[in-house]
Amino acid sequence: MNRINLLFIAIFSSLIACAQQIESSVKAKDATSVTYTVEDVVTELNIPWGMVFLPEGGMLITEKSGEIIHFKDGVKTEIQGVPEVYVRGQGGLLDLELHPDYKNNGWIYFTFASSKGKGDGGFTAIMRAKLDGASLAQNELLYKGGPNTKKGQHFGGRIEFDNDGYLYFSIGDRGNRDENPQDITRDGGKIYRLHADGRIPVDNPFVGKTGAKSAVYSYGHRNPQGLVKHYKTGEIWEHEHGPKGGDEINIIQKGKNFGWPVISYGVNYDGTSLTDKTSNSGMEQPFFYWVPSIAPSGMTFVTSDIYPDWKGNLLVGSLKFKYIERLVIEGNKVVKREIILKDLGRVRNVRQGPDGYIYAAIEGEGIVKIIPNK
């Protein structure tokens, strides 16, 4: 066999491998098996980053610019006493979550970019507080990453509790992919775990290791903007932005390295190669990845009987394509993708409410409710 034939075979094999890699993410279909109506719930919001439903009715909503809004019975009230927020690029006031026993203890948790601490700029912090009328009270800073940086990207910021009451939150790599994600002595590119009062759990994976950030639970992440507890297993599921392609869904495990930036299914934004590795010893593979990137933000599992055809599915917001993506999961694999809520705007968050309905936060619009047609 001559050299030209050998070269042709090599090139053809490489193209096939590349195609297989891309096609390994099931293609999204521009359709849905369920027809629905979209109802406005809260209007005239700019970047509604986080939202929670209060047991006494109504909602709390964060605006990235630094406001917490209480919404009930059609009335929006701005909550006072919010700490100073460092608003830069992707940074600002981010997610919020209620303590699992909120009815009895009243604790509200929120993440934000803060300029407090060492260095110019800001870094992601998490705080808890209680509502006293229309103001925050008993504010307690639980964790603040650092050192500060003026870079405006990758703050992470999602929050979730597990079945044992542990508090998880994410901090992105803060635009420093070469140092932060793979170094457990540095903040950034990590999922963190705390007790609800901010104490470090003694069984966190890096407790007692010299120089390590003992709040870290997993590492090697890029910019995680989705955290949700699996409704059956109790596992914490995470999604994160890749570069150009390579957004990931991961099932978070204690002490595991999820690979960024050593391994990735994406490339640099200019199309050049980021890494020649999609796997490496000691690094976890994603549960699922997107090529091309959808820029995921917010996610929820559907458990409501209101959506029988969607029950057990995972819904993920897309900033890039301005839709919600429905992922059908069988066993340990995504077998189907469908596009819903198309072209309303950049979907920043998606949650199932206590009434069983799905709510989505749309940038430049507000909060909407998805009502299936009968």
Phi and psi at 104, nearest 5°, equal -100, -30
Instruction: Write down the catalytic residue from 154, 221, 239, 241.
Output: 154
Position 82, amino acid: V
Give the β-pairing of 67-72 and 167-171. unpaired
- 239 as an active site residue: the answer is no
Both tokens of 67, joined, read 């406001």
Tell me the backbone φ, ψ of residue 294, rounded to 5 degrees: -105, -5
CA distance 363 to 342: 13
CA distance linking residue 130 with residue 341, whole number of Å: 34
Q: Is 345 helix (H, G, I), strand (E, B) or coil?
A: coil
Tokens 């919600």, residue? 324
Residue type, 20: Q
**HSE-up of residue 229 (Cα within 13 Å, Cβ side):** 17
Query: DSSP character for 219?
Result: E
Q: What is the DSSP string of 245-295?
A: S-EEEEE--TT-B--TTTS-S-B-TTS--S-S-S--TT-PPPSEEESS---
The tokens describing 360, both together, are 């989505």
Are 343 and 7 in contact by the 8 Å Cβ rule? The answer is: no
- Catalytic residue numbers, as ranges: 154
